[in-house]
Chain A
Amino acid sequence: MTDRADEDVQLINRYLQGDVSAFDDLVRAHENRVFGISLRMLKNRDAALDATQDTFLTVFRKADRYKAQAAFSTWLYRVTVNTCYDHLRRQKRKRTHPLPESHDPPDPDAASAIEAVEVRPDIDAALSTLTPEFRAAVVLVDLEGLSLEQASDSLEVPIGTVKSRVFRARRQLARELGNFAPPRDHPNGDQ
């Protein structure tokens, strides 16, 4: 395991033994990545902060179930993505009676000022066109730098599924971002 992974295991063990400082260290080490994934997934800072908190709550409450065979970060990202899925499902339920404009394509200009600065509206808008599953795959692999295998573990899907999602998600993002010409024999970018 890497130094970070070793340190995470030690922190988890210390936390389970009642060491409060381990809690701080663990949160501090991962909060930005958890928040980043959540923000990419949910596109809203408040929602991302909620998801980040929910993620860490889940992690700390289930810390005793963590098995050190897998990297802590893999488990953490799995919880993060699942938490984001839950939030998205809740958001969807809340939209049972949507306003008419909710069917419009995402408007990056409608994002808050802070989002406009920090999320880069072009990428954010492009990501928002992806399904949550595709978005999670490309966020983990391309934005967070996980390998396909790590993403497979985190998303709990076969690696072939991750490859397919990443591949197709990039194609769709290429169209949305407009910077890259899709292959000529696949004008729609879908397979």
Chain B
Amino acid sequence: MNENDRDLILDLTEGRLSGPEAEAAEARIAASPTLRAELATQQGVHATLAAAEPMRMTVDEQASLSAGLRAQLNIAEAPTPAPVPLPGKRSRWWIPVFGLATVAAVLVGFVALGPLGSSDDADTLEVATDLVAEETTIAENGSTLGRSQDDLEAEGGSSEQPDSGTPPTEGAEGPAAAAEEGGDSAATAPTEASSDAVDETITYAMDDDGGEASVPNVADAVPPAPELYASLQRTGFSTQAASEELEDDSVGNETVSREDLEACEAQLSGMAPPDLVRVEPLATGTRGGNPVVVLLLEFVDSQYFTVTVDLTVCDIVDVAPATP
């Protein structure tokens, strides 16, 4: 059998010939028992294989593949609607947020120093956001961010301003610029996201000489870390920590014991999402009378979020994407 005969058989097997070409090929093959047998063999095997069930992945295999690819490529899950928080349901996403020593220092430092600023002696900046559920008053210490010097040294870092490592805010419209323009008076800088939902307000109180750029701008863009974002929205981590009062460390109208803070930190530590690269404390303050800390989360894909943690209940009470 020569190459031409082979090609004829292959073409006939795959139905690639038609009309006069097919007729000529069939005539040639019909004249040769060898070619007829060969055609039958080729067509038989081809038909058998073509009729074989296609291989399909199981649901578990698909999930495994997707998870593996996302982990390898640092791709978050697709956005999903934020579920309604279920009372008492724990969301473990934020364990990594507190898995860093920084947070422990922030928590402890917060208690040690108490609210370090107030609206009386600091520039006040209001950032409207549609993602905030309650009015939050946050006092930010421009130099230590609530961390004691011991805490800072323990971290091996300096008492750098939070803006030194945080993403730049979005243009001059951001709260930093507004604060500069506003001087000692309150300056309101509604973001694009808040244009149609300004019923919620965060108030940042800042020292005159620093920290402005660290205040994140709230973005309306869909965060490319949607899995995290979705899980951040699940604020159902509502286990009430048994709070023990510490007379000297009271914050606002509520008190949080050092033991509770340490328990909270321990509760949340241990896991870290692969794409979380940095946790930066931005501010401390009170919200609904409870002490809170605001953290900036940076992810490997240069995405940023701010989360507000109620230290009394050891719970996330607010989350917002931050725009570099």
A residues contacting B by CB (< 8 A) are 18, 20-21, 23-24, 27, 31-33, 35-36, 39-40, 45, 48-49, 52-53, 56-57, 60-61, 118-120, 123, 138, 141-143, 145, 147-148, 160, 163-164, 166-167, 170-171, 173-174, 177, 179-186, 191
Q: Which 10 interchain pairs have the tightest Cβ spacing? A: A36-B55, A142-B49, A183-B37, A170-B45, A180-B44, A174-B41, A183-B38, A180-B41, A39-B55, A53-B68
Q: For the side of the interface on B, what is the size category?
A: 35 or more
- A184 contacts B42, CB within 8 Å? no
**Partner pick for B44 among A36, A39, A57, A174, CB 8 A cutoff:** A174
- A143 contacts B65, CB within 8 Å? no
- B42 contacts A119, CB within 8 Å? no
> Which residues does chain A contribute within 8 Å of B224, judged by CB atoms?
18, 20
Q: How far is the CA of A123 from the CA of B42 in the complex (A)?
A: 15
Q: Does B105 contact A (CB under 8 A)?
A: no
- B57 contacts A32, CB within 8 Å? yes
- A183 contacts B41, CB within 8 Å? yes
The binding surface of chain A is classed by DSSP as helix
B residues contacting A by CB (< 8 A) are 1, 3, 6-7, 9-10, 14, 33-34, 37-38, 40-42, 44-46, 48-50, 52-57, 61-62, 64-66, 68-69, 72-73, 75-76, 78, 224, 226
> Which residues does chain A contribute within 8 Å of B7, judged by CB atoms?
163
Q: How far is the CA of A191 from the CA of B1 in the complex (A)?
A: 9
> Which residues does chain A contribute within 8 Å of B42, judged by CB atoms?
167, 170-171
> Which residues does chain A contribute within 8 Å of B9, judged by CB atoms?
167
Nearest to B76 among chain A residues (CB) is A20
- B10 contacts A35, CB within 8 Å? no
Q: What are 25 sample pairs from A and B whose C-beta atoms fall under 8 A apart?
A: A18-B224, A20-B75, A32-B54, A33-B54, A35-B61, A39-B55, A40-B55, A52-B57, A52-B65, A53-B68, A53-B69, A53-B72, A57-B69, A57-B72, A61-B73, A118-B53, A138-B49, A143-B49, A143-B50, A164-B6, A167-B42, A173-B45, A180-B44, A183-B34, A185-B34
> Which residues does chain B contribute within 8 Å of A174, judged by CB atoms?
41, 44-45
**Partner pick for A118 among B48, B55, B64, B72, CB 8 A cutoff:** B55
> Which residues does chain B contribute within 8 Å of A147, judged by CB atoms?
14
Nearest to B36 among chain A residues (CB) is A183
Nearest to B301 among chain A residues (CB) is A18
Given contacts A36-B55, A170-B46, A184-B33, contact A27 B65 (CB under 8 A): yes
- B45 contacts A45, CB within 8 Å? no
Q: How far is the CA of A40 from the CA of B7 in the complex (A)?
A: 26
Q: How far is the CA of A36 from the CA of B6 in the complex (A)?
A: 28
- B69 contacts A163, CB within 8 Å? no
The binding surface of chain B is classed by DSSP as helix
Shortest A178–chain B CB gap in Å is 11
Nearest to A138 among chain B residues (CB) is B49
Q: How far is the CA of A184 from the CA of B56 in the complex (A)?
A: 38
- A60 contacts B48, CB within 8 Å? no
- B72 contacts A119, CB within 8 Å? no
Nearest to B68 among chain A residues (CB) is A53
> Which residues does chain A contribute within 8 Å of B78, judged by CB atoms?
20-21, 24
> Which residues does chain B contribute within 8 Å of A35, judged by CB atoms?
55-57, 61, 65
Q: How far is the CA of A93 from the CA of B48 in the complex (A)?
A: 33
> Which residues does chain A contribute within 8 Å of B6, judged by CB atoms?
163-164, 167
- B49 contacts A49, CB within 8 Å? no
- A27 contacts B38, CB within 8 Å? no
Knowing that A40-B55, A49-B61, A179-B44 are A-B contacts, what are 8 other residue pairs whose CB atoms are under 8 Å apart, sorted by A's residue number? Answer: A49-B64, A53-B65, A142-B50, A143-B49, A148-B14, A166-B10, A183-B34, A186-B38
Nearest to B40 among chain A residues (CB) is A180
> Which residues does chain A contribute within 8 Å of B48, judged by CB atoms?
123, 177, 179
> Which residues does chain A contribute within 8 Å of B10, judged by CB atoms?
148, 163, 166-167
- A177 contacts B55, CB within 8 Å? no
> Which residues does chain B contribute within 8 Å of A141, judged by CB atoms?
14
